[in-house]
Amino acid sequence: MPNSLTIADTSFGSRLLIGSSGYPNQQIMMDAIDASGAEIVTVAMRRINVAGGGESVIDLLSERYHVLPNTAGCYTARDAVLTAKLAREAIETDWIKLEVIGDEETLFPDVEHLLTAADALVKDGFIVLPYCNDDPITCRKLADIGCAAVMPLGAPIGSGMGLRNPYNIEIIRDRISIPVIVDAGIGTASDAAVALELGCDGILLNTAIAKARDPVKMAAAMRAGVQAGRLAFEAGRIPRKLHAEASSPQAGVIGA
């Protein structure tokens, strides 16, 4: 598959991963996911009633998308590992987006608990995609543990602030070989393009689409932003220069 995103030997045609929470209703959610072109959709396990009556989010998504359960809302390694195991039992998948939050106000990851949980889950056969700080050292440790990708934040979850420290993201991309997927902080299509221009392998977002005035249009915009950013990265931007450089040839100029 050309120009695909490959995670743990599985290839996807889209580099955009999308969340499933916070939409005005389920129809808008499904329309937005379709417009985004995403193939991987994350679902918070605490929101799922697998055994209950009626159609669940899993029922809506599982036939068309690769459902990626996450451990949103966990504050300890123990709770995150337990949630991952419950997800594997309920959804029959070894894939898990690992979140271990350290602070209710910032929703930053707790690195100590994150590393502990990641190590336990990798040893238990999970394909682990951890949400982490934009810290090259933490990302390297997660890669060394055996995570299938790292997902450094661009800015606090739901803030829409874009990439606040692109230099760290570049360092992370340069130092590890597994996919780097920016998770959290993306606010609009230009933020998505910047992340891909830096060489990131993909982005995961939710709030920027779900809370937009028109989620379906924003989903389409994010799709285009990701595609444009990746093409720009592959094309290679021109060097930045202090002074102007004429683009037209000087030879043959009238009066020269």
- Beta bridge pairs of residue 129: 97
Instruction: In whole angstroms, give the CA distance from residue 36 to residue 34.
Output: 5
Determine whether 97 is an active site residue: yes
Residue 107 neighbours by CB distance under 10 Å: 17
Length in residues, the chain: 256
Q: Which parts of the chain fold into alpha helices (H)?
A: 26-36, 57-61, 77-91, 111-123, 136-145, 166-175, 189-197, 207-210, 215-235
Instruction: In whole angstroms, give the CA distance from residue 91 to residue 11.
Output: 20
* Six token digits for residue 151: 């997902």
The beta strand positions in 2-54, using DSSP E, are 5-7, 10-12, 16-19, 40-44
* Six token digits for residue 53: 């009556």
The residue from 97, 141, 211, 217 that is catalytic is: 97
DSSP 211: T
Instruction: In whole angstroms, give the CA distance from residue 69 to residue 86.
Output: 10
Instruction: In whole angstroms, give the CA distance from residue 186 to residue 154.
Output: 7
Q: Is residue 125 packed enough to be buried (19+ CB in 10 Å), middle (13-18) or exposed (0-12)?
A: exposed
Q: CB within 8 A of 61, min separation 6: which ones?
A: 20, 33, 41, 43, 67
Q: Which residue type, as a one-letter code, is found at position 21?
A: S
Active site residues: 97
